[in-house]
Amino acid sequence: MNYRHAFHAGNHADVLKHLVLTRLISLLSKKEAPFAYLDSHAGLGLYDLHGDAASRTGEYLEGIARLWQAEHLPDAVEAYLEVVRAMNPDGELRYYPGSPELARLLSREQDRLQLNEKHPEDGRLLKDNMRGDRRVAVHLGEGWLVPRALMPTREKRVLLLIDPPFEKADELQRCVEALNEAHGRMRQAIVAIWYPIKDERQLARFYRDLQKSAAPKLLRTELYVHAPDDATRLSGSGLVISNPPWGLEDELKQLLPWLADVLGQSQGGWRLDWLIEEAPSGKS
């Protein structure tokens, strides 16, 4: 309960997470049928980069601030930056959307958002930030219970983001458990799990557990700003995405090399591969 995302808002990990989230919502929106967006550890939804928390760490300067100043942007970046620009109409980078606000602004009238935040103060601020949008419901419960409590949804299509604070040693394992719970309730669900890249031994176990999970197919995408050889620092971050919509892999193949170049600090790098490949037709 000590983690406050405001200290890290807009950093390189946020940029990767929110770019992928933007592309997922964009691809889902190509079909008219509604979808539900679920967020297990939602945070505030909106961040002031000039506020005390973000300015104290300055992490956004090595993240969104680099994209804000970049030229010759890939097409896949535009929708994400359009949201950030709209929040900063005077051209000065100050306000930054968390995943709930990004999803709210990019989703459509027929779509529905279910947001959960356990931290009592952050949950109250999230409710304030989402007030007035009838498509949005905010819950103040345990994030790990979201798949059990909110799935299956009445919508046949659902995107679940699992983005815990990783304050406890068992949270990678709990991510896998939540993934299994989600697919036990809605096999067709798209589940995106964000994770930090620090301890390679812990991650190796996480990957093995994911490969044994109930996900029908599972895409791994990672972005490094340092070589991943020091467990004391955040060398990068990743997302595993179950049931990724068609077209996402090809977009990420174009996007990740550009991101690694723009966001790399001591050393930029990336990885994109399948932890679980889709079973051949007629097999399970």
* Three-class DSSP category at 64: helix
Is 163 a known ligand-binding residue?
yes
β-pairing verdict for 157-162 and 190-197 = parallel
| Closest to 252 in 3D by CA, of 2, 19, 54 | 19
What radius of gyration, in Å, describes the C-alpha atoms of the chain? 18
Enzyme catalytic residues: 163
Nearest-angstrom CA–CA distance, 30 and 128: 30
Is 99 a known ligand-binding residue?
yes
Is 142 a known ligand-binding residue?
yes
Q: Dig out the tokens for 69 from the structure.
A: 């100043």
Is 3:165 a contact under the CB 8 Å cutoff? yes
Is 43 a known ligand-binding residue?
no
**Dihedral of alpha carbons 49, 257, 179, 166, sign:** negative
Nearest-angstrom CA–CA distance, 192 and 238: 10
Is 200 a known ligand-binding residue?
no
Annotated binding site: 18, 41, 99, 117, 142-143, 163
Which amino acids are annotated as binding site for S-adenosyl-L-methionine, given as ranges?
18, 41, 99, 117, 142-143, 163
